[in-house]
């Protein structure tokens, strides 16, 4: 592979990750892990659960948008446009999802 194609490929991969909020979700998850007073025994399980929660939230939101768009009318078109504008089926905000402000995860005890 030519050296000039490597930056293009890296940029394309970064855009791909950004379009699906992967970087935001991972960054927020790692930040939450850093800020925890009591850290989980297994950080891999913690991160895996955060990714799983965000995937479920994104799929559910996408399903809602798809159903509304399939229902027709201006509201369906508007919801479909919102989904296209935020790039994924997530919450659209940097934190995404619902609940804890960062991907929908809440720390034990309801904090966060």
Quick check: 65 and 82 in contact, CB under 8 A? yes
Residue 95 lies in a domain: no
Mean pLDDT, range 27-46, rounded to an integer: 96
Quick one: pLDDT at residue 67?
76
Quick one: pLDDT at residue 59?
83
Quick check: 112 and 99 in contact, CB under 8 A? no
Residue 111 lies in a domain: no
Residue range(s) defining the domain that contains residue 64: 5-86
**pLDDT 10s digits, 49-107:** 999 998 888 888 877 777 777 775 555 554 444 444 444 433 333 344 433 444 444 44
**Count of domains observed in the chain:** 1
Quick one: pLDDT at residue 29?
95
Residue 34 lies in a domain: yes
Quick one: pLDDT at residue 51?
92
Burial class (CB in 10 A: 0-12, 13-18, 19+), 32: buried
Residue 92 lies in a domain: no
Residue 40 lies in a domain: yes
Residue 70 lies in a domain: yes
Stated pTM of the model: 0.52
Token pair recorded at residue 77:
């078109």
């Amino acid at each position: 592979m030519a050296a000039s194609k490597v930056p293009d490929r890296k940029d394309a991969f970064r855009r791909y990750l950004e379009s699906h909020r992967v970087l935001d979700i991972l960054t927020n998850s790692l930040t939450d892990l850093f800020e925890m007073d009591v850290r989980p025994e297994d950080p891999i399980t913690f991160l895996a659960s955060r990714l799983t929660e965000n995937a479920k939230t994104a799929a559910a939101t996408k399903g809602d948008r798809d159903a509304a768009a399939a229902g027709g009318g201006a509201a369906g078109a508007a919801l479909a446009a919102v989904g296209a504008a935020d790039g994924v089926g997530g919450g659209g905000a940097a934190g995404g999802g619902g609940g804890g402000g960062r991907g929908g995860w809440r720390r034990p005890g309801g904090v966060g």
